[in-house]
Amino acid sequence: MTDHATRRSLPPGEAAGSKHLPALFGLLTVLAMLAYPVLFFAVRGGMDWTFSLLALLSLYGLARYGAAGNVWDSPSVAYAAAMASWMLALAVSEIAHARFMLKPYDNALALVFTIPVYQFARRIGVRTLATVQYGFCLGAITAAAVLHWAPKDWGNGRPGSYFLNPIHYGDVALMTGVLAFFSIDWTGTDSRALRALKTLALIAGLYASLRTGSRGGWVAIPAFIALWLYKQRGKFPRAGIAVLLAALIGLSLAAYAFLPWIHHRIADIYTNLVAYRQGHENTAVGIRLQIWKAALLLWRQHPLFGVGPGYLYKEHMHALGQIGYITPMAAQLGVAEVHNQVLAVTVKLGIAGLVSVLSLYAVPFALFARSASSPVGTRRVGGVLGMALVIGFFIYGLTVETFDLKMTAVFYGMTVAILLAAASHRPIASDAAASAIPADSSGSTDRPRTH
């Protein structure tokens, strides 16, 4: 963009010297997208710092430069409603119970602040948004490096970082590796070295997931493979796909046979189930089953507004342990976590909570799926990346509360906002906000592909 064009795109009354501010916007935004997947694994609080920076940049950018065009089209409204629904469900439940606490709003409010991030990101050049793919690469490699050089044993030989437990650590590590790999040739310019780096990131993410023993995340691997095959449809003959699937099955069987920590984690599922049927309920699987049984009972008793968040839920869970409906150990662990994201929100907030948590998955997935069939290459890849993100977090949430930690809730919300902005990117030449961060100098990646 020439200096003359830059001056024309600035809002009326802006001095020429203010061009330095937009450049700073671009730099800080790129750094945030590069840093947050790395800081998630490496630095306590790093995820929150990066998100706060990007949220403030977005709020300031929208306020200063405005937004031309219809930014509140129907997909944007649906997205915003989904991100705000959890906070609204909390408010409804608290009003119904006449008990008011601020703590439960912390993670829900973070998802609300992804709305301005998304709106501002839509005004960013798609090549700038695609910078996040390098963040995914660095994040997955960092996850593997931390486990190799600075692990913390959280018990039973399961490593995580010094501040993050193995379950969330392994799940998000796998996610960053998958997203890095799925981003191959996102903008149509990947070199062989970059493709190799993204493949290495996938291997690093898989290693971190397997090493942590987070078997709930392993369930998502077949779904990721199916999505990748969908992404590659028409590019491989059926015979090639059959060979690939056979190789993947062979590798999985070899991992089960020769890697002790994988073998034991999978074999323990069967052992725990047998023990549960024989009356030995305080196993890892048995405790989860008890907690789910208790949560379903509480929801049946309080279907409309749930039992309430915070200590209201804890009181009910303790009571079920005292009357022997579940074991004391299950009650104690159930107070901390329901081990199922959908069930956790539903039992605490009722019908509004169920609608909310499902919308957090379903609305972004529907928007990403629509973009995944776009003739525009960058939108299509962005849509597939977003589908992988939502599918992964939904499956992870079947056995763990993915949003109980603020950093995991922020990772999901922030990544959805960035990828959805890329998947629905619509450059607006007259938008003054376009000067805040340089748009793509070449429009080649936004031309429909004909193959």
Residue ranges making up the domain that contains 161: 21-66+86-258+340-426
From 307, 334, 361, the end of a domain falls on: 334
Structure tokens at 160: 């995580």
Of 288, 303, 334, which residue constitutes the final position of a domain?
334
Whether the predicted model's global pTM rises above the 0.75 cut: yes
- The answer to the question of residue 192 being in a domain is yes
Torsion, Cα of 356, 359, 361, 365 (10° steps)? -170
> Is residue 153 helix, strand or coil?
strand
Question: Within a 13 Å sphere around the CA of 365, how many CA atoms are in the beta-carbon half?
Answer: 14
Instruction: Indicate if 135 and 245 belong to the same structural domain.
Output: yes
Ramachandran quadrant class, 339 (left: phi over 0; alpha: psi -120 to 50; beta: rest): left
Burial of 187 (0-12, 13-18, 19+ CB in 10 A): buried
Q: Digits of tens for pLDDT over the chain (451 positions)?
A: 433 433 333 333 333 333 334 677 778 888 999 999 999 999 999 999 999 999 999 998 888 776 544 568 888 999 999 999 999 999 999 999 988 888 889 999 999 999 999 998 888 888 889 999 999 999 999 999 999 999 999 988 899 999 999 999 999 999 999 999 999 999 989 999 999 999 999 999 999 999 999 999 999 999 999 999 888 877 777 777 788 788 888 888 888 888 887 888 888 998 999 998 888 889 999 999 999 999 999 999 999 999 998 878 889 999 999 999 999 999 999 998 999 999 999 999 999 999 999 999 999 999 999 999 988 889 999 999 999 999 999 999 999 999 999 999 999 999 999 999 999 876 433 333 333 333 333 333 444 443 3
How many domains are there within the chain?
A: 2
Burial of 95 (0-12, 13-18, 19+ CB in 10 A): exposed
Same domain, 215 and 362: yes
Residue 396 lies in a domain: yes
Q: Please report how many Cα atoms fall inside a 13 Å half-sphere around the Cα of residue 332, on the Cβ side.
A: 4
Q: Are 116 and 197 in a shared domain?
A: yes
Domain closes at, from 334, 354, 387: 334
Residue 76 within any structural domain of the chain: no
- Note the Cα 111 to chain centre separation in Å: 11
Q: Are strands 152-153 and 159-160 parallel, antiparallel or unpaired?
A: antiparallel
